[in-house]
Structure 1
Amino acid sequence: MKQISALLLLVCSGAYAQQSSFVSYVNPLTGTSASTTISAAKHGAGTEMLANVIPAVGLPFGMLQLSPQTRTTERKCQAPYYYKDETSGGYRLTHWLSGSCTQDYGSVTIMPVTGSLKPGATLPLDHQTEVSGPHYYKNRLGGVQTEMTATARCGMLQFTMLQTDSLYLLITPNSDKQKGFVSIDTARKEITGYNPVYRIYQGSGQPAGFSGWFVIQYETAATAGTFSATGTSAALSIRDRPGAGGYIGLKAAAGTVVKLRIGTSFTGLEGARRNLHAEMNTWDFSRLKEQAESAWNKALGQIEVSGAGESAKRIFYTSLYRTMQHPRLMSDVDGRYPRFAGDYQLEQLKEGNYYDDFSMWDTYRAQLPLFEILQPRLINDCVRSMILKGEQGGWLPIFPCWNSYTAAMIGDHVTAFIASAFNKNIRQYDVAKAYALMRKNAFDVAPLSDYKNGKGRRALASYLQYGYVPLEDSVPDAFHKKEQVSRTLEYAYDDYALATIAAATGKKRDHALLAARARNYRHVFDTSVGLMNGRYSHGGFYKAFHPDKKLPFITEGTPRQYTFYVPQDVRGLAALMGGEKAFEEALDSLFLKNEYWHGNEPGHHIPFLYNYTAAPHKSQQIVARILKEEYSDGIGGLSGNDDAGQMSAWYVFAAIGMYPVDPVGGQYQLVTPAFERVVIRLPNGRNWEITVTGGGSCIRSVSLNGRQHKAMHITHDMLMRGGKLQIYTARCPA
C-alpha cells in the first residue's frame, strides 16, 4: 500500500501561507562559516567553532538535501560546503547530518564543465551569483548557471548555458573507500548507480547494510562514458575504482537549458525509480520550485512572529528551517526501507514513514519537543521507527544514525524522547513494546559482542553497582571514553523519564526502582566543592578538581557547567547546594564568570533555571542577551555545531518566550519573548497566541485567556488547548 508522506501534504498551503512569504526570511547560508559569537570565542575550538550547516535545498524532514559542494570527501567532520572555500566541485545530493561533526554517506555529486571533459575539476565559487533558499538554490560555475529544487526524495537540477560551448555533466559517487557503481543507458537517457554506506563510532568502517541509490534521467540525447583516476573511457559502466564516475556530453548554444531529475532511495534502483515517478513525474522546474516553496511556507508558517524587526525575523525563520532538516526520511513511497542494523535486507512498513539520523544526545532537549507541539504525527512515526529499530536489532539504539547502532555520545536519550512523547499523549504506537525495549536498556547489561557493536548503555554494570559510574571505569568501548560524571547525570535523567511511563502504566516495582535511580545525581555531588565531581569506587572524590577546566569525567564541558544538569529535580539540586538562594548564587557565578557556553547542548536549559528561584527576571535578562549575542543573520551566526537543529531550536523556543527545561515533564518555562506577537498554529486547528505589551524587558505579570497566571511556566496541555497568553512587561529590577 502506498504511503502518503506528511511532507507532501505540506504542499497544499493554507491562507496564511499564501498571504506571507516566510521563505523569504530564510537564509540557508547563515552558519556556513566559523562562528563569530562571544561564547564560541571563549569556549569553542577546532570543529566546535563551526555550525557545520549547509545551504540545503529539500523539504522538511526529507530523504535528501541538495547543496553546492566545496569539499569532495565524506570524511568525518567535513560538511559538503563551507562559505570560505574559494572553489566548488559541483552540486551534491547529500545525506549530511546537518550541523554535526559526523560524516556524509551514500551521496552523489553532479558537476557541470564546459569546453573539454575534465574529471575532478573545480571552478571558482562566486558568492555574488548565489541565491539560496530552503526550496531553491542558484549560482554560476564557469560558463553554466545551475538551479536546484527538490521534493522529499528527489531533486531536479537545471543548467543554463551562458555561452555556446560543449557541456559535460559529471556524476560521481562520493566514496572515500573507492566503492560504488555508475551505469549509463543512453537509450533510456538514464544514469544509475549507488554509493555504499559505512558505519562510524562503534563498528566504524563496517558496511552499514545499505547504499545510497540514484536514478538520474535527462531529456536531451548525449554522448556518454565513464572516468576514473586513470582516465576516461567509452565504457558505459564502472565499479569500485578510485575516482570513478560517469558523464554525458553535448554541444549547446548559449541559452540552452539542460535538466536532470534524480530519484533517490536507500532500498535499490527500483525504489529510486518509484520515488521519482511518484514525486517528480514532470520536467517543469518552475512548478516543482513553486510546490517546494509552498510546502516550506506552510511548515514555517505554523509559527508567525511580528514586532521585532526584519533581522530578528530572518534569524527566527532561518532557525526554524534548520530544525526541519532531521530526522531523515528513510522509507520509499511504497513503504519499503532498509532493515535497521541489517545486511542489505529490506522491510515493509504497515503505516506511516520510517525515519533515522537522530542526533539524540542533542535533539531530545528542544528540537524534537518543538515538533511534539507542531507535528505530533511526525513524532508518532519517529517513535514507531525506534520500536522497529529495537525489534530488528535486539536493543533500543542510543544514537541511531546511518541506520545503525553507534553508541555515540552519552546517555540513553531515546528513552527520554519516547517518554516526552508519551507524557504529551502522543501514543499512536505499541506502548508495551516501547516500554519493554526501554526497560531492557535500563536494566540489562548487553553481552560483550552486542556491547562492542554499540548496543546497550555504556558502563551500565558500574552504574547499577555503585549508583554512579566510578572513575576506575574508563568506558573503553565507546567513542566518548570516560566522562563518568556526565554519564551518571544523564542516566539519572533517563531513569526518571522511564519512571514516568512505569507509573502511568502501573508498573509499581519498576517505578520505585527507577525513581530512586533518578536521584543518582546526588552520588556525584561533592559537598566540599559545591559542584559535581568525579568519584572513585571507594567513595572518595577526585582531588585535582577545577570547576572551570575541561576534565575527563565531564562531556564536552566543565564541572561548573555540568553541575546544573538535573532537569528532573531542580529543587533537589538547589537543596544540595544549600537552598534556593545558594542555587541562585551558583547560577550567578556561572554567568558572571562568563563560564556559560551556549555552543554546546548540556547547558541549554541553564539560562531558564532562575525561574526556580525568587529572581526569574535574571532568566529573562540572560536569555535576551544570548538571543542577541549568540545568533545573527550573518554567515558566522551560530555559536557552535547546530547538531541536527538543536542550537536553532533553542532560538525558536527562547524567541517565543518558553523553553522545555525538562521535556519529559511537559512544562515550558516562561521568559520575555523577542517578539511583540507570536501565533502558533496547532495541528488540532487551534491557535496559541502570545502578546507582549508594556515596553519593558522583564515580565511584570502574565494573564492566560484574560485571567491572571501566576506561575512562570505553562504546561503542554494548556498550550495544546489553544488560548491567549498576555505578557505585561516593565523595567527589570536593579
Structure 2
Amino acid sequence: MRKTLLSLFMLVSVAVAMAEDYTQYVDPRIGSIGLGRTFIGPAMPFGMVKPGPDCVNMPNAGWAPMPEKVAGFTQTHVSGTGGGQKYGNILLQPYLDGQQLREGVMAQRRIGETIDLGYYSCLYQNHISTEITTAGRCAFYRISYPQPGRLFIDASWFLGKDTIPDKREAQQLVGTHVSIVSPTCVEGWSSVRGGWNNGDAYTVYFSLHTDKAFSVLQSDEQTCRLAFADETVNIKVGISYVSCEKARANIPANTFGQQLATLRAEWQKMLSRLKYQGTEKNMRMFYTALYHVMLMPVNKTGENPKWADSPYHDDYYAIWDTYRTSTPLLGVYYPEIQRDIVNSLLNIYKNEGYMPDARSGDCNGRTQGGSHGEVVVADAMARGLDGIDYELALQAMIKDAEVPPTDHEKEGRGGLQEYNTLGYIPYGIPRAGTRTVEYAFDDWCIAQVAKRLGKEDIYDKYMSRSGNWRNLWRADYEWKGMKGFIMPRDAQGRWLDSVPWGKSKVYHPLIPYRPDTKVAPWYLPWWNTFFYEALSAEYSLSVPHDVPGLIDACGGADAFRKRLDTFFAEGHYNVANEPSFLTPWLYHFIGRPDLSRDRVTRIINENFSDQPDGLPGNDDGGAMSSWLIWGMLGKYPLAGTCQFLEFPQDDAIEQKSQNDMLMCFVLNRQYRNWPYSYRWNGDILEIRCNTAIYNIHRNVVDNASGFSWESAQARNARYDNVSGTFGFISKAAYAALLAKGRFTYDGITWRKVDETAENIHVRADKDNTEMWIAKDRELPIVMKMKNNPLGIDWDMKQ
C-alpha cells in the first residue's frame, strides 16, 4: 500500500498563477528557533535589504524569542546560517525621553510581537509599537509612540562584535559616518570587515527619511539621537553598497501599506509557480520552505562597488550547502533567476579570478568542501538554460581544477597540488576526505560541460579524475558488517589506522580512526577535520556522480541494501547536514524506490514540522528547506544533470497512450524490463525510465548534435545496475535522415540500411551500432538498438 507524506495527497504542477493566495501559507517563524536560524523579518524575493530586530545576544539572523531584549532594528541580515555572524548594519532604536544608553546599547523588552510574510511588528514594554515592511533596497518603518518620541541611530552597530581584535569569524568596525542632512533626513555609512567568511571590509550606505520633522539631540560620527513632536512617524531607510546618493535613489514612492501590498503580490507571483495541495500543516511547511529558498543569494545588481558588470548576486552562503537541492530547484522552476545567478558567478570570475564557493559582503570566502561553481554551471547546462557563456564557464571551472589559489579558504581548491599529483588529498591537509570526494564530483561536472561543448580531450581528462574518490576507498576495511570506506591515507599511500587528535603542537595523541571518528576534540571546528560536517560513514555513501560504481565497490546490490539498512538503523544518518541529503534516496539505484519513499517520508515526519523549531539543522540559505520541498514533491534532483529520482506512484491511475512503453534491454547478459514514457510540459519534455526522470528543453529535442541518451549511467555500462536511460535523436537529425538517408551525431555518421512502415533502420559508420528509429511517433524514438559498444541494447515494446 502506498505511503503518503504525512497522510496527504500531493498534486504539483508548474502553471500560471491561480486565485489561491499562497502567501497565507508562509510562516516565517518556522525554523527560527533551534538549529534552523531562519530570518523572521520582511524580505522581498532575493532582496538585498532584510530589516528586522537584533537582540542583545546577537543570533546570526538577529532575532531571538522573548524575553530576550531588542537592541534595535537593523537593515541587513542573512538567513539560516551557522558559524560567525554577518551584517546587522545601521541600527534604529525608538525610545522615550528619560531612557539612557547602557554600554552603548538601549535594550528594550517586548511584550507582544507579530511575524508574518513581509510584515513584522512588536510592542515594547514602554508601549512603543514598531511595524516594518520592506522593498528590495529600502526598509519601511511605522513607529507609534505613547507620547512624543525619540529615535536612536547607530551606524557603529553590527552583529558578531568581539573585544578580541581580528578574532576569526568576528566582524570588526572599520569606520562610520553620520550626517544630519535636513530636519527630515539623516545619511551616512558603516564600514565593517570580517564575519563568517573573514571577508574584506564592506560599506553600507544609508539615506533615512522621516515624514515628520525632528530636532537633533546629539550627533557624532557614529550615532545620533532625534526627537519628534509627534506620536506616529513613518521612516524609509534606503540602503546601498555604493553611495549615499544611490541609497537615496533606492527609496520608492510607496507608502507603508502600498509597499506591503507590493511585496505580497511579488511573493504570490513567485510562490504560485509551484502548486501543492495537502493539509494546512503541510501547505505551511511547503510554502514556507519555498519562501526560505528565495531569501538568498541576494540580487545586488548595480550595487557592486568594485565593478559594474551585471547581473550580480551576493551572499552565496554557501554553494557547498545549496548545490544539491536549491540549485536544481531554481533551475527547474525559476530558470531566469538561476541564469542570472550563473552569470553572476562568471562575472565574479572575470573580475576577481575565481568563482566563489561562498561569498558575502562582496568578498569570496569561505570554501568548505570543494569548488562547487562547477556543479551550478553543469546543472544549468543540463537543464538547457540559455543566455550563459558556457565557454567562459568552462575556463572558470578549469581554473578551479588547475590553478592553486593564493588563499584556499577564500576561493579555489585547497590541497590541489596533492590532488592532481597523487589523485587524492593526504591526511594532514584540512578536510582531505571531503575535498577528495567532492573534487571528484566537481571534475565530473567539468567533464559534462566539456562534452556538451564538443571538447573530447577535456572530457576524457576530467572523467578520469572523477574516479579519484576510489583512491581513498579502503576496500578491505570492515566495520559493523559494512565493507569498504573512504579512509585517511598519507602522502606515501599508506592507510592510517591511527591519526592525531586535535591540533596541539605540544601534546598530539593518536587515536584509532573509525568511520564514526571526528578526529578532533569537540571544541575544534569541522574546518580542521578529515571530513567536513560529516564522518566517513556518511561520506562513504556520498558519490553522487558514480552511485553504480559505489554500489559495485560495496559488494553489489544486496550488500548495498544491507549497508543502507544498517546505516540508518545504527543512527549514522545525519539529517542536519548536507552530505547525507542523497543517502535516503539511494535505494532507487538498487531498484527499490519504495524503500527510498519510506525512508524520506519517515525522515520528514520525524524531523520537520510547521513549528518554530521545525527545521532539524541550519537552513543554510534554503538548502535544508529545498531538501524538504523535493521530499514533499516525491522526487529528488541529481545535481549537474537533468535527472530526477521519483517516488513510485503505486496507486496512481493514468491513461495510457503510445507515449507509454516498456524498455526491454540486456545489460551484462541480464534481461531487464522498465516502464518508459514521455510527456510534454510546455517547452519541457519529461522522459521517465524506470525511476529516473529527465527534463529536456524543446531546443535540445529539436536541435541536439549529440546522443541525448548518453546519461551518466549509460556511459559506464560496467555497472550491474542502471537507474535509467532513454533514446531519441533530434528532429533536426531526423529531418536530415529523411532528406539524405544519413545524419551525423557526435561526429559519427549514421546511414540508412532499410525501412518499414514503422521504423528506419540505420547503422553507424564507426562501430556498426544499429538503431531502428520510429517513423510514426511525434518524437524520433530509438525503438531498438543493437551492437551498442556501451553494452546496453534495447527494444521498446508498446
Structure-1-length-normalised TM-score: 0.79
Pair 86,354 (structure 1): closer, same or farther in 2 beyond 3 Å: closer
After TM superposition, give the deviation of residue 134 of structure 1 in Å. Answer: 2.5
Aligned to 2:575: 598
After TM superposition, give the deviation of residue 716 of structure 1 in Å. Answer: 2.3
2:396 counterpart of 1:431: no
What percent of counterpart residues are identical? 25
- Counterpart AA for 1:533: M
Are the aligned partners of 1:561 and 1:603 in contact in 2 as well (CA < 8 Å)? Answer: yes
Aligned to 1:199: 194
Are the aligned partners of 2:118 and 2:133 in contact in 1 as well (CA < 8 Å)? Answer: yes
Aligned partner of 1:545 among 513, 519, 523: 513
Are the aligned partners of 1:97 and 1:103 in contact in 2 as well (CA < 8 Å)? Answer: no
- Counterpart AA for 1:293: R
Taking the TM superposition and a 5 Å limit, the aligned residue runs for 1:603-682 are 603-660=580-637, 662-671=638-647
For structure 2, the 5+ residue unaligned runs are 1-13, 162-171, 478-483, 498-511, 520-528, 654-673, 681-685, 702-798
2:199 counterpart of 1:220: no
Partners of 1:178 and 1:513 in 2: how far apart?
A: 47
For structure 1, the 5+ residue unaligned runs are 1-13, 35-49, 226-233, 340-346, 476-481, 678-699, 723-734
Aligned to 2:533: 556
After TM superposition, give the deviation of residue 436 of structure 1 in Å. Answer: 1.0
After TM superposition, give the deviation of residue 370 of structure 1 in Å. Answer: 0.7
- Counterpart AA for 2:226: I
Partners of 1:533 and 1:485 in 2: how far apart?
A: 7
Deviates most, 88-97 or 505-514: 88-97
Partners of 1:710 and 1:396 in 2: how far apart?
A: 35
2:94 counterpart of 1:112: yes
After TM superposition, give the deviation of residue 721 of structure 1 in Å. Answer: 11
After TM superposition, give the deviation of residue 614 of structure 1 in Å. Answer: 2.8
Q: Deviations over 1:482-502 (max 9, x none)?
A: 221111000000000000011
Partners of 1:304 and 1:412 in 2: how far apart?
A: 34
Partners of 2:513 and 2:115 in 1: how far apart?
A: 48
- Counterpart AA for 1:669: L
Aligned partner of 1:151 among 135, 142, 155: 135
Aligned to 1:468: 424
Partners of 1:356 and 1:113 in 2: how far apart?
A: 32
Aligned to 1:47: none
Q: Deviations over 1:205-256 (max 9, x none)?
A: x633x3111111011111114xxxxxxxx4x4x23xxxx422211233xxx4
After TM superposition, give the deviation of residue 708 of structure 1 in Å. Answer: 11
After TM superposition, give the deviation of residue 152 of structure 1 in Å. Answer: 0.9
Are the aligned partners of 2:189 and 2:205 in contact in 1 as well (CA < 8 Å)? Answer: yes
- Counterpart AA for 1:467: G
Aligned to 1:338: 305
Aligned partner of 1:298 among 269, 276, 289: 269
2:54 counterpart of 1:69: yes
Partners of 1:460 and 1:644 in 2: how far apart?
A: 27
Q: Which has the higher helix share?
A: 1
Aligned to 2:223: 245
Partners of 2:676 and 2:384 in 1: how far apart?
A: 27
Are the aligned partners of 1:72 and 1:89 in contact in 2 as well (CA < 8 Å)? Answer: no
Partners of 1:674 and 1:571 in 2: how far apart?
A: 25
Q: Deviations over 1:601-639 (max 9, x none)?
A: 011011111000132211000110111111111111110
Q: Deviations over 1:486-540 (max 9, x none)?
A: 1100000000000001111122221111000001111111111221111122222
- Counterpart AA for 2:208: I
Q: Deviations over 1:160-216 (max 9, x none)?
A: 23x2344334444424434443434363511112121313567x3x633x3111111
Pair 575,633 (structure 1): closer, same or farther in 2 beyond 3 Å: same
Aligned partner of 1:56 among 41, 46, 58: 41
Are the aligned partners of 1:106 and 1:213 in contact in 2 as well (CA < 8 Å)? Answer: no
- Counterpart AA for 1:316: F
Partners of 1:453 and 1:620 in 2: how far apart?
A: 38
After TM superposition, give the deviation of residue 17 of structure 1 in Å. Answer: 4.9
Partners of 2:336 and 2:328 in 1: how far apart?
A: 13
Q: Deviations over 1:401-429 (max 9, x none)?
A: 22212243121101111111122111312
Are the aligned partners of 2:139 and 2:238 in contact in 1 as well (CA < 8 Å)? Answer: yes
After TM superposition, give the deviation of residue 124 of structure 1 in Å. Answer: 1.7
Are the aligned partners of 1:67 and 1:91 in contact in 2 as well (CA < 8 Å)? Answer: yes
Pair 107,166 (structure 1): closer, same or farther in 2 beyond 3 Å: closer
Aligned partner of 2:308 among 309, 330, 348: 348
Are the aligned partners of 1:398 and 1:457 in contact in 2 as well (CA < 8 Å)? Answer: no
Are the aligned partners of 1:196 and 1:207 in contact in 2 as well (CA < 8 Å)? Answer: no
Pair 155,166 (structure 1): closer, same or farther in 2 beyond 3 Å: closer
In our comparison, the structure showing a higher alpha carbon Rg is 2
Are the aligned partners of 1:548 and 1:559 in contact in 2 as well (CA < 8 Å)? Answer: yes
Aligned to 2:381: 422
2:116 counterpart of 1:133: yes
Q: Deviations over 1:286-337 (max 9, x none)?
A: 111111111111111111211x311111111111111011111223xxx352
Aligned to 2:7: none
Taking the TM superposition and a 5 Å limit, the aligned residue runs for 1:332-731 are 335-339=302-306, 347-349=307-309, 352-446=311-405, 450-451=406-407, 454-471=410-427, 474-475=428-429, 482-529=430-477, 530-543=484-497, 544-551=512-519, 552-660=529-637, 662-671=638-647, 710-717=689-696
After TM superposition, give the deviation of residue 444 of structure 1 in Å. Answer: 2.0
Pair 88,311 (structure 1): closer, same or farther in 2 beyond 3 Å: same
2:295 counterpart of 1:313: no
After TM superposition, give the deviation of residue 598 of structure 1 in Å. Answer: 0.7
- Counterpart AA for 1:23: T
Partners of 2:545 and 2:639 in 1: how far apart?
A: 9
After TM superposition, give the deviation of residue 394 of structure 1 in Å. Answer: 2.0
SS of 1:370 mapped into structure 2: helix
Pair 719,549 (structure 1): closer, same or farther in 2 beyond 3 Å: farther
After TM superposition, give the deviation of residue 454 of structure 1 in Å. Answer: 2.7
Aligned partner of 1:95 among 47, 61, 77: 77
Partners of 2:381 and 2:188 in 1: how far apart?
A: 41
Pair 354,454 (structure 1): closer, same or farther in 2 beyond 3 Å: closer
2:150 counterpart of 1:167: yes
Partners of 2:353 and 2:45 in 1: how far apart?
A: 30
Structure-2-length-normalised TM-score: 0.73
Q: Deviations over 1:143-169 (max 9, x none)?
A: 2111111111111000123x2344334
2:241 counterpart of 1:285: no
After TM superposition, give the deviation of residue 32 of structure 1 in Å. Answer: 1.8
Aligned partner of 1:259 among 224, 227, 234: 234
Are the aligned partners of 1:105 and 1:198 in contact in 2 as well (CA < 8 Å)? Answer: no
Are the aligned partners of 1:68 and 1:81 in contact in 2 as well (CA < 8 Å)? Answer: yes
| Larger RCO (CA within 8 A; separation ≥ 6) | 1
After TM superposition, give the deviation of residue 386 of structure 1 in Å. Answer: 1.1
Pair 674,296 (structure 1): closer, same or farther in 2 beyond 3 Å: farther
Q: CA RMSD in A?
A: 2.8
Are the aligned partners of 2:43 and 2:135 in contact in 1 as well (CA < 8 Å)? Answer: yes
Pair 336,78 (structure 1): closer, same or farther in 2 beyond 3 Å: closer
